Amino acid sequence: MYETIGKGSFGKVKLGEHVSLGLKVAVKIINREKLNNSKNDARIKREIQAMQRLNHPHIVRLYDVIESKTHIFIIMEYVSGGELFNTITTHGKFSEPEAREFFQQIISAISYCHQSKVAHRDLKPENLLFDPKTRTIKIADFGLSNIVDDGALHHTACGSPNYAAPEVISGNQYSGPEADIWSCGVILYALLTARLPFDDPYIPTLFRRIREGKYSMPPFLSNEAKDLISKILVCNPVDRLTVKEIRMHSWHRENLPKYLEVTADVPEETKSEYSERAINEVSLRMKVSHTQILEDLEKSQETGLNGPYTVAYHLVSDSLQLGRDVKDASFSYKDSNSRFSAAIDEISSSPAMNLRRVPPIYEDGIRREIDKTRKISEDAPVAPLKKVWYLGFLSAHHPLEIFEKLLVALKKHDFEWKVCGNYQLRCRNILKDGNQHPLKIGIQLFSMPQNSHSSSSGNLKKKIHLLDIKILEGQMFDFYEICLKLSKEIPSKKE
C-alpha cells in the first residue's frame, strides 16, 4: 500500500496495488477499536452489504473485504481524480452541458441503487468521485446507506444538513429514495452555480430555510435548468419529481449518452456471461488456467465471498469495461476536454463561490439540532416526533384477518397475485377482451409504531397495521378505482 488518499471517522483510505495485475485499488482501513459501539459496527456492515448489491459503471465497486482481529480492510475501486467537491471548489461552476453530463451519470446510478433497494442517504459532492481522464462520476461512501423495502419508511435522521431533505431534518418518518432525489437537486444546483441553495452557519436557521424551501435561482441559468431544479427541490416529497420523471425531463434528456438511456436492470442471481478477454488477461498475469478462474467465479457467486481470481477478474473487467462503455457511448475525450476548457474560461467571470465542505451529522446530532430548532424557531415549528404520516388503509384487526379479506376482494375484482414475502404481494388484473395493458400493483402490510395511534378515548394503545398499496404499472385512474373498491372491503380500524 502507498500514500493515504482519504480519512474517515474510523480510519484511513490508502492507495493500493494488485501485485500480479499492477492495477490500483483504494483500501479503506477500519480500526476496530474505533468501532466502540454497536451502532458504528452496524454502520460498517450496512456499507459493505449495500456495496455488495451494486454493480454499476457510476458506483464505486467493492472488490473484497478482509478482516483481522484489529482491522477491517475494504478493497474498492480507485478513482484517480478524487472528490467532485474538490473539482468544483478549484474550477468553480460548470457550464450547463458539463453539469448535465455529470448529473446524467448520477441519476443513472441513483436509479440503479433504488432498483437494488439501496438508499444512499448522504449524497453530496464529497461522496462523488470524479475521474478527469474519462469524465466519469462514481458514487462512493455508503456508510449511511440503508436497505429499502417496498413502502418502508426510515426514521433515522442522518446525512449532511445542507443536502438533507425537509422531511429528514424535521424528524419525521421518510422515504430514503425521495430524500436521495432532494440531495440530487442540491448537487445539480451546486454543479451549475458552485453555491449551495440552502446555507447558513446557524443550524436552526438553515433547517428553517430547508423546511420552507426558500432559495434563490441565479439569472444565468436556462429556463429548463430552473424548471428541473424547482421541481426537485419541492418540500413535500409526494410532489417531488421521481427518478423516472427526472429522466424524462427535457433538460436531462439533451445529449443523453446511449448507455444511460435505458435504466440498468438489477442483475438476476444466475450464471453470468463472463468476459473472455478479462479471463485471458487474469490467466496470463496470474499464471492460472481458465478452469480455475471460472470455478472461483462460480464459487464466489454462490457464497457471496470473492476469491483471489474473482477479485482479479473484476479488476481487469472494470478496466476494460470503462474503455468500452466510453467508446460505445460516443464520448470523445478531445471534445470533452475542449468543452471542459470552455467551462473553465467561463468561470473566470463568474461570482465568487460559497461551496464548502459539509460534514455529515448522525442521528444523535440531528436530533439535538431538531430539539434546538423547536425551542428557538417560533415562526417555523417542527412537527412533533411522535406524529406519523402514512398512506394506505389502517386497521386494528389481526394481519391474517386483513389478508384473508384482501385476497377475497382481489379475487372478486379479477386480480391474480404472487407472494413476495411476509404479508407482501405483487398483483395484476386478469386481462379481459380488448384490454392489453394490465394494472400491476404492490401490496404490503406494516405494523405501525406503538406510540403512533391510540384509542378514541386516548387511553389504551392498540396494535395498528397499515396496508400500503402502490402502482407498479398501468393507468392511474384504474389504480384509484381498485383502491376505492378495496377500501370498502378491507376491515378498518376498530373503534
Supply the pLDDT for residue 264.
54
Q: In terms of Cα–Cα distance, which of 392, 389, 415 is closest to 402?
A: 392
Q: Produce one character per residue of 23-49: b if its CB has 16 or more CB atoms within 10 Å, e if not.
A: bbbbbbbbebeebeeeebeebbebbee
Cα(350)–Cα(118) distance, integer angstroms: 37
122 is catalytic: yes
DSSP 3-state of 157: coil
Amino acid identity of residue 61, one-letter, is R
The pTM of this model reads 0.61
Reported as a single tens digit per residue, the pLDDT across 116-167 is 889 998 899 999 999 888 899 999 988 888 777 554 445 454 557 899 999 8
Q: Which grid coordinates belong to 293?
A: 478462474
For the chain (length 495 residues), average pLDDT per consecutive 10?
74 83 86 79 85 87 88 89 88 94 95 90 92 90 75 52 87 79 96 92 87 92 97 92 94 91 54 73 80 81 72 74 40 33 35 52 51 42 40 78 87 88 84 73 76 43 77 83 86 58
Q: Which CATH number fits domain 1-78: 3.40.50.300, 3.30.70.1230, 3.30.200.20, 3.40.50.1820?
A: 3.30.200.20
pLDDT of residue 361: 53
Q: What is the pLDDT of residue 101?
A: 96
Instruction: Name the DSSP letter for residue 316.
Output: H
28 appears as a binding residue in the annotation = yes
Which top CATH class is 84-257+332-376?
Answer: mainly alpha
Question: Residues near 403 by Cβ (< 8 Å), separated by ≥ 6?
Answer: 423, 445
Instruction: List beta partners, residue 287.
Output: none
Q: For residues 84 and 162, what is the distance between their CA atoms, to the nearest angstrom?
A: 16
Catalytic one among 64, 122, 141, 296?
A: 122
What are the residues facing 442 on neighbouring strands?
Answer: 426, 470
What is the third-level CATH fold of 393-487?
Answer: TATA-Binding Protein (3.30.310)
Spell out the domain ranges in the chain. 1-78, 84-257+332-376, 393-487
